Structure 1
Amino acid sequence: MADIDLHSASFSDGAFIPRRHAREGDNISPPLSWSDVPGETAELLLLCEDPDAPAGTFVHWLVTGIDPACRGLDAGQAPPRGTPLANGFGERGWGGPHPPAGDRAHRYLFHLYALSEPVSLPDGASADEVHAAVEGRRLADGTLQGLYRR
């Protein structure tokens, strides 16, 4: 399986996400860019999850149906042709980091999947449902990890 090169102009892999992208800041999605998407990709799927959330993995952003020709988005921008689904806050689109105050830094995993065929997910799908849906359809993927602490 191929790897997608996924990165952000706001933070490096493994570094802290700036406050402006957090729920307590401006709650603006970070800029993302990517390359190495296979030519036979039917759609891209973007997921941002916090596996360190106290009640289990929390979905911060889930967008399906992203145009495979897209190579990134600016801060606060929705992916073209994408369908944002409800995040763990019950809102469509980006829901920035908001770990409990005083917790150690949480990891925020941005996953971009290149899929061989479209997926159908329920609104408010869990991270486990997303991971199960992409199995067998994944042509390539990329991951970017950011940290956040309050």
Structure 2
Amino acid sequence: MAGIMLRSTAFNDHDMLPTRFSKEGGNVSPPLELPGAPRADEVHRLLVERDVASGTMVGTYSR
């Protein structure tokens, strides 16, 4: 599968997610853009979880 670009105006590349978008800070969904997404009628899923052992974020994308 080819890579995707995911953008947001809520934070910069490699920045920590602002608290207001976390469970502790209000659990607000940040605005996200998928430039070049193939078709508007397709479903896109992005799952991001924290790996407890390493503390890193792990993302899975599917469509």
TM-score bracket for the superposition, by shorter chain length: 0.5 to 0.7
Q: Is the 8 A contact 1:50 1:109 kept in 2?
A: yes
**Of 29, 36, 57, which residue of structure 2 is paired with 1:108?**
57
What is the SS of the residue equivalent to 2:44? strand
Q: How does 1:1-150 map to 2 (within 5 A)?
A: 1-39=1-39, 42-51=42-51, 53-54=52-53, 106-114=55-63
Aligned-CA RMSD value? 2.6
Provide the rounded CA distance (Å) in 1 between the counterparts of 2:12 and 2:58: 12
Instruction: Decide whether aligned partners of structure 1 residues 5 and 17 sit closer, same or farther in structure 2, where only a CA change above 3 A counts.
Output: same
Equivalent residue number for residue 146 of structure 1: none
Q: Is there any run of 5+ residues in structure 2 with no aligned partner, and where? A: none
Provide the rounded CA distance (Å) in 2 between the counterparts of 1:107 and 1:34: 23
Per residue, is there more strand in 1 or in 2? 1
Amino acid across the alignment from 1:107: T
Amino acid across the alignment from 2:56: R
Q: How many residues align?
A: 62
| Identical pairs, percent | 32
Amino acid across the alignment from 2:14: G
Q: Is the 8 A contact 1:6 1:112 kept in 2?
A: no
Question: Which contiguous aligned blocks of 4+ residues in structure 1 show a shift greater than 3 angstroms?
Answer: 106-112
Larger radius of gyration, structure 1 or 2? 1
Deviation at 1:23, TM superposition (A): 1.6
Deviation at 1:111, TM superposition (A): 3.9
